[in-house]
Amino acid sequence: MSPTPSLLALTATSAALLASALWLASEPLRTALRRRRIRTRPFPASWRRVLQQKMPAWRALPPDLQDRLRRLIQIFIAEKRFTGCDGMVVTDEVRLLIAAQACLLILRRPLDDFAGVREILVYPGAFAVSRRETDHSGVEHAWQRVHLGESSSRGQVVLAWDAVLAGAADASDGHNVVIHEFAHQLDQQNGAANGAPPLPGRARVARWAAVMGAAYTLLHQQVAAQEMPVLDSYGAHSPAEFFAVATESFFERPQHLALALPEAYAELSAYYRVDPRLW
């Protein structure tokens, strides 16, 4: 007795579902194998020259971290889509300097912390972002703001190339648009950015909230009193901006941050698993 058409259709559907499930289950293995192949490729000499010339932070890294950063850069560039906007041409240098600065944040963290980043949009300079908001009276307000960078929970990071270059060129001024926006991406792993990236265990979460909350309050108080703030005053806008600004200072002004906010520095060092004071 031959199978009925409905039975054949059911069998075909089951086979397709099984194949799909096997394909999804093998994704981590395929990703690991692809990344292993990427890591074995020689790091282009032209890339090394660009980093030597245009990114002092690269020169300051110890050899083991330089080697790790090279591998992270190669994988990041291979996996992320870079798109030029407003006539911006995306070259190897553009990809390289963005990847190198972004990957400082994951030198000792999992590469998949940036798995949610699908695309980096690059403008030649500052770009305008339109916003709409309806107030409590039901009136809609529209405005534009000029930005050097923006991070989206939808998997996009937007950057102004001139700001990327400036951030790479000065590794000690505490301002780096790439570090800032990719810190937001870390923050957005568990939902909307709120200044608290994913942390293991309730004790770590509680300590982070206490320490970073106190530092955020201090910054607010200093800004309100028109005192010299311990961090860029932009960090007082919200806990999310505080985390991004503190991350910029952690990587670019570690000695200053460790003296001004030692407990906050310790939390950031534990989170990023590095101590930039030693570089």
Question: Mind listing the pLDDT tens digit for each residue in 212-243?
Answer: 999 999 999 999 999 999 999 999 999 999 99
Cα(168)–Cα(184) distance, integer angstroms = 18
Q: Which domains does the chain have, with CATH numbers?
A: 30-170 (1.10.472.150), 194-279 (3.40.390.10)
* pLDDT at 276 > cutoff 60: yes
pLDDT at 36: 87
What 8-state DSSP symbol labels residue 228?
Answer: -
pLDDT at 147: 77
Question: SS3 helix, strand, coil % of the chain, rounded to 5?
Answer: 60, 10, 25
Q: In whole angstroms, how far apart are CA 127 and each of 75, 94, 110, 235?
A: 28, 17, 31, 21
Q: DSSP letters of 54-122? A: H-HHHHHS-HHHHHHHHHHHHHHHHHSEEEE-TT----HHHHHHHHHHHHGGGSSS-GGGGTT--EEEE
* pLDDT at 141 > cutoff 50: no
* pLDDT at 142 > cutoff 90: no
User: How many CA atoms lie within 13 Å of 34's alpha carbon, on the beta-carbon side?
Assistant: 10
pTM of the model as a whole: 0.85
Place of tokens 């060129």: 169
* pLDDT at 209 > cutoff 50: yes
* pLDDT at 138 > cutoff 80: no
Average pLDDT over residues 100-117: 96
